[in-house]
């Protein structure tokens, strides 16, 4: 098992390297010029050349790329052209917010999605089943950013029930940083004001990000369970007079987990992508918003770093999913 | 003729598929004849009528330049439909071709193609699309290229699997035994038989692509103003959400409906082809 995990983590390295090459290559074939953008079209040519030299943009592309990879190995992702700080420091500051939002949405997708899926599989063709299926059709077709704005109009601007953006109220100081998650940190330190405020702030973005994924998880749960409901061992369990709740949780759901877990891995990737637009809509101070700001400035180092970190996160979540297969189904082993 | 009629009857019995077909037909008509359908010029500003709520004169209201939103949404369908079809066509063509060659010839070629596919698939696709579109610079064409690159590996992997599966079947064996050339086997026998899943995936992906293109438009990549692109319109509406709900609502509703239409068709075709999935 440990050998398997190590092997998977090792495989990630060449993948990320190749990814860097790809984005780097395309970025340098593209016509945009970050120096021109920052210095302005009327800048003194000497200043322009100096800036190019300073950022190493005067060297051939392959040299730039090799230098970048060399620095990457040493954990140096370069300096942001916009903030002037090391990219790794910038991302370090924004990453916890993204991780908190994504994990919250993932949790919401799985818990609500599986619940809805189970209920509609147990009571097929009831009102709730039809409602779940309709919501899942609509959910997959609803743009995240649009839903976010509509909910802001309704719950923030019209009803004033929920805050319209940010991670925590402006007049409340964030909890002492332990994990980087405001929810967990304020809970651990007993900072109830911060806990209440950050919980209210994450509710809307978390739900918006999770909405389509709840639908996907519910759909796959329903399908996976319906495939098992008719099997003989389930009939036998029912015939023995076991309670329905026990049959559903211990006999059906246990064997329906594998396709659901596979879907959870996919959902994680979609959430990481969706987090970008969600962060923009809700002014959530995360990595995605940082990336969008970097795009406008053609700050390629920040963009490449963002893509790499997101991919590593995605790979990590998928690794956890694969490890969980073994836990869910003892017949699977990686040795 | 008989078989054709039976197909139509089978489609007719799937109400959701029919709804999907009707929606997509509607969207296509809008995309092809925007000039005939739109009540106003989508680019003409009229500052006397800025940010008006929906009314008899302007069903969807107007934007901050007084442009008619219904007309802009109708013209926007053209951008979205073209993006959806071009991206899926490019990705399916390139991906299927690469995947078919990899599966058919195997060896080093297979290794190279599949390793590239592995790398591309390791990225969450919205993030890869963002990074590529950003690298290429914000424009509609670049967004299409970026999204195509993101979809290519998925088609390549699928086509390779199909070809590998079909290679073991008897009709290929007999073609080989008859001395048919390798290229002819690939083009005339394998590809036509492996195309069905690509078609289904393609239909589903048009909807998804429209959604992703809108998301890229929303964060400032993709079509640039004054081009009426749905995602960009929603992005522009953000500064006005305090007093004009219609400006945000209608372009987004258009994305939802278009996306839903393609998804319904994709699901429906999949059920027709493989009735086992129908109950999901």
- Taking CB atoms and an 8 Å cutoff, what residues of chain B touch A296? 220
Domain assignment of residue A310, yes or no: no
Q: What is the 3-state secondary structure (H, E, C) of chain A?
A: CHHHHHHHHHHHHHHHHHHHHHHHHHHHHCCCCHHHHHHCCCCCHHHHHHHHHHCCCCCCHHHHHHHHHHHHHCCCCCECCCCCCEHHHHHHHHHHHHHHHHHHHHHHHHHHHHHHHHHHHHCCCCHHHHHHHHHHHHHHHCCHHHHHHHHHHHHHHHCCCCCCCCCCCCCCCCCCCCCCCHHHHHHHCCCHHHHHHHHHHHHHHHHHHHHHHHHHHHHHHHHHHHHHHCCHHHHHHHHCCCCHHHHHHHHHHHHHHHHHHHHHHHHHHHHHHHHHHHHHHCCCCCHHHHHHHHHHCCCHHHHHHHHHHHHHHHHHHHHHHHHHHHHHCCCCCCC
Domain housing B107: 90-223+243-259
What is the model's pLDDT at position B206?
92
- Taking CB atoms and an 8 Å cutoff, what residues of chain A touch B241? 149, 152-153, 157
Tally of structural domains, chain B? 1
Mean pLDDT of B93-109: 90
Q: Answer yes or no: is pLDDT of A3 > 90.
A: no
Domain housing A116: 95-286
ipTM of the complex: 0.87
Q: What is the pLDDT of residues A144-164, one digit of tens each?
A: 999 999 999 999 988 989 888
Q: Who wins on pLDDT, A27 or B78?
A: B78
Domain assignment of residue B274, yes or no: no
Give the nearest partner residue to B131 out of A23, A32, A149, using CB atoms.
Answer: A23
Query: Cα dihedral sign for A159, A161, A167, A171?
Result: positive
CATH number assigned to the domain comprising residue B140? 1.10.3720.10
Domain assignment of residue A144, yes or no: yes
Mean pLDDT of A27-31: 67
Domain assignment of residue B145, yes or no: yes
- Taking CB atoms and an 8 Å cutoff, what residues of chain B touch A13? none
State whether B256 and A137 contact (CB < 8 Å).
no
The Cα of A264 is separated from the nearest Cα of chain B by a number of Å equal to: 13
Tally of structural domains, chain A? 1
CATH number assigned to the domain comprising residue A139? 1.10.3720.10
What is the model's pLDDT at position A166?
84
State whether B263 and A143 contact (CB < 8 Å).
no
Q: Answer yes or no: is pLDDT of A279 > 90.
A: yes
Q: Answer yes or no: is pLDDT of B220 > 50.
A: yes
Domain assignment of residue A325, yes or no: no
Domain assignment of residue A21, yes or no: no
Q: Answer yes or no: is pLDDT of B279 > 70.
A: no
Closest residue on chain A to B233 (Cα): A146
- Taking CB atoms and an 8 Å cutoff, what residues of chain B touch A146? 234, 248, 251-252, 255-256
Closest residue on chain B to A216 (Cα): B280
Q: What is the pLDDT of residues A30-44, one digit of tens each?
A: 666 667 666 677 777
The Cα of B100 is separated from the nearest Cα of chain A by a number of Å equal to: 23
Q: What is the pLDDT of residues B42-75, one digit of tens each?
A: 888 888 888 888 888 888 888 888 888 888 999 9
Mean pLDDT, chain A, rounded, equals: 84
Q: Answer yes or no: is pLDDT of A26 > 80.
A: no
Domain assignment of residue B39, yes or no: no
Mean pLDDT of A8-26: 79
Task: Tell me if the pTM is above 0.80.
Answer: yes
Mean pLDDT, chain B, rounded, equals: 86
Domain assignment of residue A199, yes or no: yes
Domain assignment of residue B167, yes or no: yes
What is the model's pLDDT at position A70?
82
Phi/psi of residue B62, each to 5°? -130, 165
Closest residue on chain A to B16 (Cα): A137
What is the model's pLDDT at position B280?
46
Domain assignment of residue A100, yes or no: yes
Closest residue on chain B to A316 (Cα): B122
Which of A37, A135, A138, A145 should one mutate to test binding to chain B, selecting the residue with the greatest count of B CBs within 10 A?
A145
What is the model's pLDDT at position B278?
54
B173 pLDDT band (50/70/90 cuts)? Answer: confident
Domain assignment of residue A68, yes or no: no
The Cα of A314 is separated from the nearest Cα of chain B by a number of Å equal to: 7
Domain assignment of residue A259, yes or no: yes
- % of residues, chain A, pLDDT over 90: 19
Q: Who wins on pLDDT, B30 or A230?
A: B30
Closest residue on chain B to A266 (Cα): B124
Q: Answer yes or no: is pLDDT of A57 > 90.
A: no
- Taking CB atoms and an 8 Å cutoff, what residues of chain B touch A274? 126
Q: What is the pLDDT of residues A170-200, one digit of tens each?
A: 888 888 888 888 888 888 888 888 888 888 9
B274 pLDDT band (50/70/90 cuts)? Answer: low
């Amino acid at each position: 098992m440990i050998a398997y995990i190590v092997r998977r983590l090792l495989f990630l390295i060449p993948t990320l390297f190749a990814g860097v090459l790809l984005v780097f290559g395309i970025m340098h074939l593209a016509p945009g010029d970050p120096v021109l953008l920052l210095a302005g079209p009327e800048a003194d040519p000497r200043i322009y050349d100096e800036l190019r030299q300073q950022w190493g943009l005067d060297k051939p592309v392959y040299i730039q790329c090799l230098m970048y990879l060399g620095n990457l190995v040493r954990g140096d992702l370069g300096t942001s052209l916009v903030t002037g700080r090391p990219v790794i420091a910038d991302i370090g500051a924004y990453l916890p917010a993204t991780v908190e939002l994504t994990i919250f949405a993932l949790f919401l997708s799985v818990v609500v999605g599986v619940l809805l899926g189970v209920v509609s599989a147990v009571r097929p063709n009831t009102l709730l089943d039809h409602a779940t299926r309709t919501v899942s059709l609509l959910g997959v077709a609803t743009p995240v950013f649009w839903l976010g704005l509509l909910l802001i109009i309704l719950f923030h601007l019209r009803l004033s029930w929920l805050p319209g953006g940010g991670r925590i109220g402006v007049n409340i100081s964030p909890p002492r940083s332990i994990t980087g998650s405001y929810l967990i940190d304020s809970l651990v330190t007993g900072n109830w004001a911060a806990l209440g405020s950050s919980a209210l702030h994450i509710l809307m973005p978390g739900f918006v990000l999770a909405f389509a994924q709840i639908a996907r998880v519910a759909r796959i749960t329903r399908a996976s369970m319906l495939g098992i409901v008719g099997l003989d061992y389930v009939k036998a369990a029912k015939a023995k007079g076991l309670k329905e709740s026990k049959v559903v949780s211990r006999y059906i759901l246990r064997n329906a987990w594998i396709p659901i877990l596979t879907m959870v891995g996919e959902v994680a990737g979609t959430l990481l992508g969706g987090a970008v637009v969600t962060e923009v809509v809700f002014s959530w101070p995360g990595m995605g918003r940082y990336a969008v700001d970097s795009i406008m400035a053609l700050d390629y180092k920040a963009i490449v770093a963002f893509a790499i970190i997101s991919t590593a996160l995605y790979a990590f979540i998928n690794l956890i999913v694969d490890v969980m297969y073994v836990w869910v189904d003892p017949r699977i082993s990686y040795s | 003729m008989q078989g054709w009629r039976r197909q139509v009857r089978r489609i007719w019995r799937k109400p959701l598929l029919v709804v999907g077909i009707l929606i997509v037909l509607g969207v296509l008509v809008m995309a092809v004849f925007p000039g005939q359908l739109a009540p106003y010029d989508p680019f003409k500003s009229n500052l006397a009528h800025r940010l008006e709520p929906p009314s008899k004169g302007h069903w969807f209201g107007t934007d901050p330049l007084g442009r008619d939103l219904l007309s802009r949404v109708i013209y926007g369908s053209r951008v979205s439909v073209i993006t959806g079809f071009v991206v899926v066509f490019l990705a399916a063509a390139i991906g299927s071709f690469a995947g078919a060659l990899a599966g058919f010839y195997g060896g080093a070629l297979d290794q190279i193609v599949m390793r590239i596919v592995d790398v591309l698939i390791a990225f969450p696709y919205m993030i890869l699309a963002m990074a590529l579109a950003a690298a290429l610079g914000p424009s509609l064409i670049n967004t299409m290229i970026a999204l195509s690159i993101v979809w290519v590996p998925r088609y390549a992997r699928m086509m390779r699997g199909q070809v590998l599966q079909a290679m073991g079947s008897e009709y290929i064996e007999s073609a080989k035994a008859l001395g048919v050339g390798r290229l002819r086997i690939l083009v005339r026998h394998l590809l036509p038989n492996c195309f069905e899943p690509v078609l289904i995936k393609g239909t589903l992906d048009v909807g998804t692509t429209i959604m992703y293109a809108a998301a890229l438009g929303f964060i400032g990549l993709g079509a640039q103003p004054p081009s009426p692109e749905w995602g960009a319109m929603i992005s522009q509406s953000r500064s006005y959400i305090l007093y004009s709900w219609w400006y945000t609502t209608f372009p987004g509703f258009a994305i939802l409906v278009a996306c839903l239409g393609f998804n319904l068709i994709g699901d429906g075709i999949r059920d027709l082809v493989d009735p086992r999935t129908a109950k999901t």
